[in-house]
Amino acid sequence: MRKIILILSIFLSVNLISKELKMEELIWERGESFLFFLQKNQIPLSIYHNLDKEDKELTAEIIAGIKYQILRDENENIEQVLIPISEDLQIQIYKDLEDKYAITFTPISYKIENTNLTFKINKSVYQDIIDNTQNSKLASALLRAYAGTINYTGMKKDDKVVIVYSQKRRLGRVYGDLNIKSAMIEVNKKPYYIFKYGDNDFYDESGKQLESYTFILPVGNVRISSPFNPGRFHPILKKYRAHLGIDYAAPKGTPIKAAGAGKISFRGVKNGYGNVIQITHSSGYMTLYAHMSKFGNYKIGDSVKQGQIVGYVGSTGLSTGPHLHFGMYKNNTAINPASVVRITKDALTGKEKQKFDLVVKDYINEIKHILEAKVTPIKEESFENIVELN
Ligand SMILES: [Zn+2]
């Protein structure tokens, strides 16, 4: 076990008795299952077996390499465990009023702030973002958003860059994924704008969509039996619920296609997900295909092209009928697959274009104000819940 980084002493007042608790931050080992984790820590397996199907499925969402926390009392007994399963939700193991272990899903709290960044070119767009903010996620997200539409060679020193975006903040530090809404990059004083419109698509000023990284639906356009849910409080069940993928109802044996080109990074059985294939793609994307009846002809490490058959629809794991559970991850965090699956790549027209033009006008005004305000960038320390694995 890799032992770890941060030890704090926390004084918790329980029934007027001060208890000294110690928090350990650990890293989830590759190949470790949730059941194995319970066993290893002498936590009764019944807390897993008593979960319903959906919650069991969520325990398969723990990603190797993720940081989690264990809180122990002075006798080394576990008081609490917190394991993130997405940017929004974590598994919490705790002791109930009868001092018995219990399990629940609790939200991870963070704030979303709308912010912006402006600077003059000194070295390059990418390097200047890093030098100004230390935020490499912002730098790669910006270049990805422009999707190779700019020829940077004519760029001069003192050309300006403006980025309008929102980011999450947790415990005072930048956290999780960020959302670029609009940007302007000057090349030899000529401005190039991009605008986000709709869920995840960028357009230029004229309403033409920029070619971005896109995926196809792995089983074609079939019925969605359960949509993506990042983690919301269920008013009837009175607990937090999440569904970190989309379920597509399809007959057993329906071929499952790779949503994008990539490398097979997992082939095997995963808790409630049954037979699972995972594909690692470029730009920090990963896709997961669960409940397969049969695997395709690809092994771990094999490269696949978009559309190649990686398996067949089934009902393995915790499943009430044949369906594909399709998960999409960006930088190890579950995102809604519907937001990156290709629909159409066209220019906006008619009413849609009129609506878009108003959005563009607002953003161009905002960018003008940001340029006039000349706010000095802040260097950020990031709160990385998810570690990069080598
Ligand atoms: Zn599912």
All structural domains of the chain? 7-107 (3.10.450.350), 111-213+344-380 (3.10.450.350), 224-339 (2.70.70.10)
The rounded Å distance from CA 145 to ligand 1 centre is 29
Q: Is the pLDDT of residue 12 over 50?
A: no
The rounded Å distance from CA 299 to ligand 1 centre is 23
The rounded Å distance from CA 318 to ligand 1 centre is 9
The rounded Å distance from CA 244 to ligand 1 centre is 7
**pLDDT at 345 (0 to 100):** 57
Which of the four pLDDT bands, split at 50, 70 and 90, describes residue 220?
A: confident
Which of the four pLDDT bands, split at 50, 70 and 90, describes residue 307?
A: very high
The rounded Å distance from CA 311 to ligand 1 centre is 16
DSSP E strands, 59-110: 67-72, 78-84, 89-95, 101-107
Q: Which residues of 349-387 are buried (b: 16+ CB within 10 A; e: fewer)?
A: eeeeeeebeeebeebbeebeebeeeeeebeeeebbebbe
Residue 141 in tokens: 């997200």
The rounded Å distance from CA 289 to ligand 1 centre is 10
**pLDDT at 383 (0 to 100):** 63
The rounded Å distance from CA 33 to ligand 1 centre is 18
The rounded Å distance from CA 177 to ligand 1 centre is 22
- Amino acid symbol at 262: G
The rounded Å distance from CA 228 to ligand 1 centre is 8
Contact predicate 131/122, CB 8 Å: yes
The rounded Å distance from CA 260 to ligand 1 centre is 20
**pLDDT at 279 (0 to 100):** 97
The rounded Å distance from CA 300 to ligand 1 centre is 23
pLDDT in tens, 58-94: 998 998 888 899 999 988 999 999 999 988 899 999 9
The rounded Å distance from CA 245 to ligand 1 centre is 6
**Residue 389 CB partners (closer than 8 Å, separation 6+):** 30, 64, 65
**pLDDT at 293 (0 to 100):** 97
The rounded Å distance from CA 48 to ligand 1 centre is 18
Number of continuous H segments (helices) and E segments (strands) in the chain: 6, 25
The rounded Å distance from CA 63 to ligand 1 centre is 16
The rounded Å distance from CA 47 to ligand 1 centre is 21
**Residue 385 CB partners (closer than 8 Å, separation 6+):** 66, 67, 84, 87, 108, 170, 175, 176
Task: Pick from 80-89, 104-113, 142-151, 290-299 the range whose average pLDDT is largest.
Answer: 290-299
The rounded Å distance from CA 197 to ligand 1 centre is 28
The rounded Å distance from CA 174 to ligand 1 centre is 30
